[in-house]
C-alpha cells in the first residue's frame, strides 16, 4: 500500500509539472493580449504599456518561464488580471461550490450506477426496460439533460430551483466547510439546508447522469461474468436467495471494472462542470474558469487548471485505493 | 469602450443558442404563462421592495477608478456619484454632486459649487477636499479611466464646498469625461484614509464602496451575488427599492426562464432579439437609444482589401438596412454617419448603397476572393447572425467568406500581427461619453484602443489633436472632417446603431436611461406598481 501511495504522489507531481508547462506554452503561443483585456480596450497606450511592464509581460519568454516556475514552486499562483485578487484566494472562494456539486454528483452517480448495474444483472423485464433507458440516456448530452430538467422540474412543476446555490434572500451559513448542505446542517439551519438542497439537485443530477449510466453498464457486464463463476453456482446450490447472491457474493468481486470506470467518469464529470455551472448559474470553478478565459486571465486559468489537475489525480488515487480494497491482489502489485 | 459581452468561452455560443431556443419553445415562451408559480423549491418569487436583476458575468471590480467594463455599470452608478451627470434620455450635462459650475473664457479653469448636505456611506460629509483626494487617487491608481484626469494641472479648494480645477490645456470633452459612467467618482474617507492600506484602498474597494449614491454595496459575493442596500442618508429622493439583488447568471436562457417564472425582475441586456416578439404576458420591453454601434473593420494590411477599389466595393455589397432589420428585429437602426446619432449634429452621411453589379465588379478586382470574417460572440447571438448575413451578402457578390468566432483578447492582439488577423471584423463598441472626441479618439486615432486593424491616417490624427483643444464650434467642424475622411477611406464601415433593450416585469415602472450609459437603468428611479 505504501508503494501505491508513493507512486500516486510521484504521478501527481509529474502531472502538475506537465500541466504547468503546457499552460505556460499555451499562454505563450495564443495570440492574445491579456493586458489590454485587463485594463480595457480603450485604455491609452501609455497605461497599457505601464501595466504590461508591471506584470512582466514585456519580458522575454525564457525569463517569464523561469519567473513563472519559481512562483509556482513557492506556491504563489499570482494575482488574477480580472478580479485583482490573489488567484489562491479566488480558488478558495469558488472551489467549495464545485466540490459540493462534484461530491453530490459523484454520490448520485455511484448510487444510481450501482442500482442500475445490479438491476440489470438481476435480469427480467425490468432489466430490459433499464437497458433501453441506459442506451437512450447515454446519448443525451449533459447540457440537454440540464435543460430538460430545468424545463420540467423548474418551469413546469416548480419543484426545484434553476440557478444559484441558495435562495438569494436566505443568508448562507458562513462556514466552517463552505459546503452549504453540510454547513446549514451544522448550524441547524433547516431552511438554508432545504434551499441549498433544492438548488443542488438538478445540476448534480445533470452531471451525474452520464457517469451513472456508464458505471451501471460496466457493473452489469462485470456482474454477469461473475454470476457465471463456480462459487456463485455453489452459493445458489446452497439455496441462497438471488439478491443475497448478488449483493454478498457478486458485487465486491465485480466492482473492479466499475471502480475503474468510476475514476474515468468522475474525471469527465469535472470536465462537464463548466457547462453545468454555466447553465445553473453555479458559482464554482467552471464559472470562474469560463470568465477568466474570456479575459485571457492566464494566472486564473493556470491556477484553476492546476487545481483541477490535483483533483483528478486525487480522485484516481481514491479509486485505486477502492480497487485495492475490493481486490487485495492489487495491494501487493 | 469596447462592448465586452461578458464571458464567453469558445464552445458556448452553440450551447447558449440551443438552450435558449429549446427552452423558449418547450416552455411555451409567449404562451401567456404567468409568474404565479414562481415560488419554486427554495426560490422566493421576486416582488415587494426587493429588486432582482441578473448579470451574465461578474464585474471586474466595484472600484470606480479601475472598473472599465459595461457589466457592472449599475453597481458603480448606484453607489457612486460624480460632479456632473447626464439628464435622463439625453446627452445634456446636469449637476450631480455639483449644483453649478462655470468655465473660464480660456477653458482652462472650471469652478464647481458642491451640493451641501451630501454624506458618504461612511457617514462623513462631502467636501471639496474629499473630491480632490478622490481625483488624486484615480491618478495614483493609474488604470484605464485615469486618462480622463490626466489633463488636470491643479485642483484648489477655496472653501469647503468650492472646487477649482485647472487644466494644462483646454479639453473639449472635459465635462463629458466628468459625466461619463467611467468618469471620476467621488470616494469617501473610509476607503481613502481608514482603509487605504498601501494600495490606495484598492483591496478595500474590491468588496466595499464608499460613495454618495442612493445605494450601498452591502455584499459582493463574487460569482454569486451582489447586494445593493438603500442608503438612508441619501441626499436625493429615497429609492423605492430597499434592496437590489444582482445575481450572476451566465446563461441567457436561464435568465429568460427565471424572468418568465418571476425569479428575477428584469434582463437589462443581451435578450435575444428573435424572442422579443413572443414574450410571456408578465413581461414588457422598454427600448431606449444608446451609443452602441456595430462596426465592420476592414484589414487593409493584406490582400485583398489593401486595394482601395476592392474595399470601396464593400459599400455596394452590404445592404445595411436589410442587415440590421434582419439581425436586430427592430432593436437597431441602420447607421447614418461615422458617429453615433446625437453625438455630432449634421454629421456627414454614409454613402452606402447596395448595388449587386458594383459589388460583383469590385470582387472581380480582388487578387484573392477567399476572405475571413471574425466576430466576437455574444449571449444574444446577434453578432453571429450579422456575420452569417454578411457572409451571404458577400458570397452573392462573388466572395468566398469563412466566418469565425474570435475572443476579445485575440482581437486586442490583432494590431501586433495584422497579416494573421481576419480580413473583416465585426465589433460592437460604444464611446466613453456623449462627446464626439470620446468616439473618434478610440476608434479613428492611429493609436486608439478600438482601432483594431491599425487604421492610420495622419490627417485624421492631426484633426483630432487640433479638435480636442479647439473651441466648441471649431471642434465640431473638425470632428465632421474626421468623419468625412474616415468614411472616404472605407477601412471602417458603420453598420448599425443598437438600442438598449430592457425586458422587465410589467409591474416595474420609472425606467430611466442615459444613452451614454449602456445596459444601465437608474435603479433609484425604478418602482414597483402596487408596492
**Which H/E stretch holds residue B297?**
strand B283-298
* pLDDT given for residue A332 in this prediction: 55
Distance from CA of A227 to the nearest CA of B (A): 43
Pick the residue from chain B with its C-alpha nearest to A36. B412
In degrees rounded to 5, what are phi and psi of residue B136?
A: -65, -35
Q: How far is CA A40 from CA A162, B67, B383, in A?
A: 33, 9, 20
Distance of CA B170 to the CA centre of its chain: 26
φ/ψ region of A296 (left if φ > 0, alpha if ψ in -120 to 50, else beta) reads left
DSSP letters for B250-265: --HHHHHHHHHTTS-S
Q: Is B447 on the interface with A (CB under 8 A)?
A: yes
B127: number of CA atoms within 13 Å, CB side? 12
Rounded CA-CA distance B475/B469 in Å is 8
Contact between B186 and B129 (Cβ < 8 Å): no
Please tell me which of the candidates A40, A162, A168 has its beta carbon nearest to residue B254: A162
Contact between A6 and A19 (Cβ < 8 Å): no
Distance from CA of A295 to the nearest CA of B (A): 6
Please tell me which of the candidates B40, B52, B57 has its beta carbon nearest to residue A291: B57
DSSP letters for A304-325: HHHHHHHHHHHHHHHHHHHHHH
Q: Is A86 on the interface with B (CB under 8 A)?
A: no
The β-bridge relationship of strands B93-95 and B162-167 is unpaired
Instruction: Residue B265: count other Cβ atoms within 10 Å of its Cβ.
Output: 24
CB contact under 8 A, B253 and A161: no
Q: Is B330 on the interface with A (CB under 8 A)?
A: no
Q: ipTM value of the model? A: 0.80
Q: Encode B205-234 in three state secondary structure.
A: HHCCCCCCCCEEEEEEECCCEEEEEECCCC
SS3 A26: helix
Which residue shows C-alpha cell 418569487?
A: B45
Rounded CA-CA distance B353/B317 in Å is 8
* pLDDT given for residue B226 in this prediction: 96
User: Which one, of B450, B448, B453, B446, lies nearest residue B417 by Cα?
Assistant: B453
Distance from CA of B12 to the nearest CA of A (A): 8
Distance of CA B513 to the CA centre of its chain: 12
User: Which one, of A129, A119, A116, A110, lies nearest residue A246 by Cα?
Assistant: A119
User: Which one, of A257, A310, A307, A262, lies nearest residue A8 by Cα?
Assistant: A310
Give, for all 333 residues of chain A, the pLDDT tens digit: 677 778 778 877 888 888 889 888 888 888 888 888 788 777 778 888 888 888 888 889 889 889 988 988 888 888 999 999 999 999 999 999 999 999 999 999 999 998 888 888 877 788 888 888 877 777 888 889 998 999 899 888 889 988 899 988 888 887 789 999 999 999 999 999 999 999 999 999 999 999 999 888 888 888 888 888 888 888 888 888 877 788 777 887 887 888 888 878 887 888 788 889 989 999 999 999 988 988 889 899 999 998 988 888 888 788 777 777 777 666 554
Query: Which of A50, A278, A280, A286 to probe by mutation at the B interface, max B CB count within 10 Å?
Result: A278
CB contact under 8 A, A147 and B143: no
Q: Is A164 on the interface with B (CB under 8 A)?
A: yes
CA-based max dimension of chain B: 70
Q: How far is CA B337 from CA A190, B1, B299, B331, B484, in A?
A: 60, 18, 21, 18, 9
Q: Is A212 on the interface with B (CB under 8 A)?
A: no
Please tell me which of the candidates B2, B224, B251 has its beta carbon nearest to residue A41: B2
Q: For residue B158, count CB atoms less than 10 angstroms from its CB and return exposed for 0-12, middle for 13-18, buried for 19 or more.
A: exposed
Q: How far is CA B76 from CA B135, B183, B517, in A?
A: 16, 11, 11
Distance from CA of B387 to the nearest CA of A (A): 20
Query: Which of A144, A205, A279, A281 to probe by mutation at the B interface, max B CB count within 10 Å?
Result: A281
Instruction: Residue A139: count other Cβ atoms within 10 Å of its Cβ.
Output: 9
Q: Record the cell numbers describing residue A260, joined without a space.
A: 475503474
Mutual orientation of helices B382-396 and B320-328 as an angle, nearest 10°?
A: 150
Rounded CA-CA distance A155/B205 in Å is 38
Angle made by CA atoms A88, A56, B223, in degrees to the nearest 5 = 30
Distance from CA of A282 to the nearest CA of B (A): 8
Angle made by CA atoms A215, A217, A218, in degrees to the nearest 5 = 65
Rounded CA-CA distance A263/A266 in Å is 5
pLDDT along chain B (531 residues), means of 10: 46 40 43 38 65 94 94 96 96 97 97 98 96 96 92 97 97 97 95 93 96 97 94 96 95 91 93 89 93 96 96 94 92 95 92 93 94 89 92 95 91 91 95 96 93 95 96 95 96 96 95 94 92 50
Rounded CA-CA distance B93/B95 in Å is 7
* pLDDT given for residue A140 in this prediction: 85
Strand partners, B93: B86
Instruction: Residue A252: count other Cβ atoms within 10 Å of its Cβ.
Output: 13
* pLDDT given for residue B15 in this prediction: 42
Distance from CA of B36 to the nearest CA of A (A): 10
Q: How far is CA A139 from CA A130, A136, A213, B196, in A?
A: 14, 5, 10, 56
Strand partners, B498: B292, B332
Structure letter (DSSP) for residue B416: G
CB contact under 8 A, A30 and B410: yes
Instruction: Residue A140: count other Cβ atoms within 10 Å of its Cβ.
Output: 16
Distance from CA of B22 to the nearest CA of A (A): 8
Please tell me which of the candidates A199, A283, A288 has its beta carbon nearest to residue B42: A199
CB contact under 8 A, B52 and A160: no
SS3 B333: strand
Rounded CA-CA distance A96/A98 in Å is 5
Which residue shows C-alpha cell 467594463?
A: B69
Q: Is A133 on the interface with B (CB under 8 A)?
A: no
Which value, in Å, is the radius of gyration of the alpha carbons in chain B? 24
Q: Is A278 on the interface with B (CB under 8 A)?
A: yes
CB contact under 8 A, A168 and B142: no
SS3 A12: helix
* pLDDT given for residue B25 in this prediction: 42
Rounded CA-CA distance B339/B431 in Å is 9
Please tell me which of the candidates A39, A163, A291 has its beta carbon nearest to residue B7: A291
Kindly list the residues from chain A whose CB atom is less than 8 angstroms away from the CB atom of residue B18: 143-144, 147
Kindly list the residues from chain B whose CB atom is less than 8 angstroms away from the CB atom of residue A30: 410
Kindly list the residues from chain B whose CB atom is less than 8 angstroms away from the CB atom of residue A155: 23, 27, 257, 260-261
Pick the residue from chain B with its C-alpha nearest to A98. B223
Pick the residue from chain B with its C-alpha nearest to A161. B41
Q: How far is CA A230 from CA A77, A221, B160, in A?
A: 56, 17, 96
Handedness of CA A29, B406, B24, B293 (dihedral sign): positive
The β-bridge relationship of strands B266-267 and B492-505 is antiparallel
Strand partners, A315: none
Helices (H), B127-199: 128-141, 174-179, 189
Chain A, residues 8-67, CB within 8 A of chain B, namely 30-34, 36-37, 39-45, 47, 50-51
Handedness of CA B81, B84, B86, B88 (dihedral sign): positive
Q: For residue A237, count CB atoms less than 10 angstroms from its CB and return exposed for 0-12, middle for 13-18, buried for 19 or more.
A: exposed
Pick the residue from chain A with its C-alpha nearest to B26. A151
Rounded CA-CA distance A214/A124 in Å is 20
Distance from CA of B449 to the nearest CA of A (A): 4
Q: Is B75 on the interface with A (CB under 8 A)?
A: no
Mutual orientation of helices A2-29 and A61-73 as an angle, nearest 10°?
A: 150
Distance from CA of B196 to the nearest CA of A (A): 16
Rounded CA-CA distance B432/B146 in Å is 13
Kindly list the residues from chain A whose CB atom is less than 8 angstroms away from the CB atom of residue B50: 169
CB contact under 8 A, A47 and B146: yes
Pick the residue from chain B with its C-alpha nearest to A196. B42
Amino acid at each position: 500500500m505504501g508503494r501505491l501511495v508513493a507512486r500516486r504522489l510521484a504521478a501527481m507531481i509529474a502531472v502538475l509539472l506537465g500541466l504547468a508547462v503546457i499552460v505556460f506554452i499555451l499562454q505563450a503561443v495564443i495570440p492574445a493580449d491579456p493586458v489590454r483585456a485587463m485594463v480595457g480596450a480603450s485604455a491609452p497606450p501609455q497605461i497599457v504599456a505601464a501595466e504590461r511592464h508591471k506584470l512582466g509581460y514585456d519580458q522575454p519568454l525564457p525569463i517569464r518561464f523561469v519567473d513563472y516556475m519559481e512562483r509556482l514552486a513557492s506556491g504563489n499562483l499570482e494575482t488574477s488580471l480580472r478580479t485583482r485578487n490573489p488567484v489562491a484566494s479566488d480558488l478558495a472562494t469558488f472551489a467549495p461550490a464545485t466540490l459540493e456539486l462534484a461530491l453530490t454528483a459523484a454520490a448520485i452517480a455511484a448510487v444510481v450506477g450501482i442500482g442500475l448495474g445490479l438491476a440489470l444483472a438481476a435480469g427480467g423485464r425490468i432489466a430490459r426496460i433499464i437497458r433501453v433507458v441506459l442506451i437512450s440516456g447515454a446519448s443525451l448530452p449533459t447540457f440537454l439533460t440540464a435543460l430538460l430538467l430545468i424545463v420540467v422540474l423548474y418551469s413546469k412543476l416548480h419543484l426545484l430551483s434553476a440557478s444559484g446555490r441558495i435562495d438569494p434572500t436566505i443568508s448562507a451559513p458562513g462556514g466552517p466547510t463552505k459546503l452549504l448542505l453540510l454547513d446549514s446542517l451544522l448550524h441547524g439551519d433547516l431552511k438554508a439546508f432545504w434551499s441549498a438542497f433544492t438548488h443542488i439537485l438538478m445540476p448534480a443530477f445533470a452531471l451525474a447522469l452520464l457517469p451513472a449510466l456508464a458505471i451501471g453498464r460496466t457493473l452489469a457486464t462485470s456482474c454477469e461474468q461473475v454470476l457465471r463463476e463456480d462459487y456463485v453456482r455453489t452459493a445458489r446450490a446452497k439455496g441462497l436467495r438471488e439478491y443475497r447472491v448478488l449483493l454478498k457474493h457478486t458485487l465486491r468481486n465485480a466492482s473492479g471494472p466499475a471502480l475503474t470506470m468510476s475514476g474515468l467518469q468522475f474525471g469527465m464529470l469535472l470536465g462537464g462542470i463548466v457547462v453545468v455551472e454555466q447553465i445553473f448559474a453555479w458559482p464554482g470553478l467552471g464559472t470562474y474558469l469560463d470568465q477568466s478565459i474570456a479575459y485571457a486571465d492566464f494566472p486564473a486559468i493556470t491556477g484553476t487548471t492546476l487545481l483541477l489537475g490535483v483533483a483528478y489525480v486525487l480522485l484516481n488515487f481514491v479509486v485505486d485505493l477502492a480497487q485495492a480494497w475490493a481486490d487485495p491482489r492489487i495491494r501487493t502489485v | 469602450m469596447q462592448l465586452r459581452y461578458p464571458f464567453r468561452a469558445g464552445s458556448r455560443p452553440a450551447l447558449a443558442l440551443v438552450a435558449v431556443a429549446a427552452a423558449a419553445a418547450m416552455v411555451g415562451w409567449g404562451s401567456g404563462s404567468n409568474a404565479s408559480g414562481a415560488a419554486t423549491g427554495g426560490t422566493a418569487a421576486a416582488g415587494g421592495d426587493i429588486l432582482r436583476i441578473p448579470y451574465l458575468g461578474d464585474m471586474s471590480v466595484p472600484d470606480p477608478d479601475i472598473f472599465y467594463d459595461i457589466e457592472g455599470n449599475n453597481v458603480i452608478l448606484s453607489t457612486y456619484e460624480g460632479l456632473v451627470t447626464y439628464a435622463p434620455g439625453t446627452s445634456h450635462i446636469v449637476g450631480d454632486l455639483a449644483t453649478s459650475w462655470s468655465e473660464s473664457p480660456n477653458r482652462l479653469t472650471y469652478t464647481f459649487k458642491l451640493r451641501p448636505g451630501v454624506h458618504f456611506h461612511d457617514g462623513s460629509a462631502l467636501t471639496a477636499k474629499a473630491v480632490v483626494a478622490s481625483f488624486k487617487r484615480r491618478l495614483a491608481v493609474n488604470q484605464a479611466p485615469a486618462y480622463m484626469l490626466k489633463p488636470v494641472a491643479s485642483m484648489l479648494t477655496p472653501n469647503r464646498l468650492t472646487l477649482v480645477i485647472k487644466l494644462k490645456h483646454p479639453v473639449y470633452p472635459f465635462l463629458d469625461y466628468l459625466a461619463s459612467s467611467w468618469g471620476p467618482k467621488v470616494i469617501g474617507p473610509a476607503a481613502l484614509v481608514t482603509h487605504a492600506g498601501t494600495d490606495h484602498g484598492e483591496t478595500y474597494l474590491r468588496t466595499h464602496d464608499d460613495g454618495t449614491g442612493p445605494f450601498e454595496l452591502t455584499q459582493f459575493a463574487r460569482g454569486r451575488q451582489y447586494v445593493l442596500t438603500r442608503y438612508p442618508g441619501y441626499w436625493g429622493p429615497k429609492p423605492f427599492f430597499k434592496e437590489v439583488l444582482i445575481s450572476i447568471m451566465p446563461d441567457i436562457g436561464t435568465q429568460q426562464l427565471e424572468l418568465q417564472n418571476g425569479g428575477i425582475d428584469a434582463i437589462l441586456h443581451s435578450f435575444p432579439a428573435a424572442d422579443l416578439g413572443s414574450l410571456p404576458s408578465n413581461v414588457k420591453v422598454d427600448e431606449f437609444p444608446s451609443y452602441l454601434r456595430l462596426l465592420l473593420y476592414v484589414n487593409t494590411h493584406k490582400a485583398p482589401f489593401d486595394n482601395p477599389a476592392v474595399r470601396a466595393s464593400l459599400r455596394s455589397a452590404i445592404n445595411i438596412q436589410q442587415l440590421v432589420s434582419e439581425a436586430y428585429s427592430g432593436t437597431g437602426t441602420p447607421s447614418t454617419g461615422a458617429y453615433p446619432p446625437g453625438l455630432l449634429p449634421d454629421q456627414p452621411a454614409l454613402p452606402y448603397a447596395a448595388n449587386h453589379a458594383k459589388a460583383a465588379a469590385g470582387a472581380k478586382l480582388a487578387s484573392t476572393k477567399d476572405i475571413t470574417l471574425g466576430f466576437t460572440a455574444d449571449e444574444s447571438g446577434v453578432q453571429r447572425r450579422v456575420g452569417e448575413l454578411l457572409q451571404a451578402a458577400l458570397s452573392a457578390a462573388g466572395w468566398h467568406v469563412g466566418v469565425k468566432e474570435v475572443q476579445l483578447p485575440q482581437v486586442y492582439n490583432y494590431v501586433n500581427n495584422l497579416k494573421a488577423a481576419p480580413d473583416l471584423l465585426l465589433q460592437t463598441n460604444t464611446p466613453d461619453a456623449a462627446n464626439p472626441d470620446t468616439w473618434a479618439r478610440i476608434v479613428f486615432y492611429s493609436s486608439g484602443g478600438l482601432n483594431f486593424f491599425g487604421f492610420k491616417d495622419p490627417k485624421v490624427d492631426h484633426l483630432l489633436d487640433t479638435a480636442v483643444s479647439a473651441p466648441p464650434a471649431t471642434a465640431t467642424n473638425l470632428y465632421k472632417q474626421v468623419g468625412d475622411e474616415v468614411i472616404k477611406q472605407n477601412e471602417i464601415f458603420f453598420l448599425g446603431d443598437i438600442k438598449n433593450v430592457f425586458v422587465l416585469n410589467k409591474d416595474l415602472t420609472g425606467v430611466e436611461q442615459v444613452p451614454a450609459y449602456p445596459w444601465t437603468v437608474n435603479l433609484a428611479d425604478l418602482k414597483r406598481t402596487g408596492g
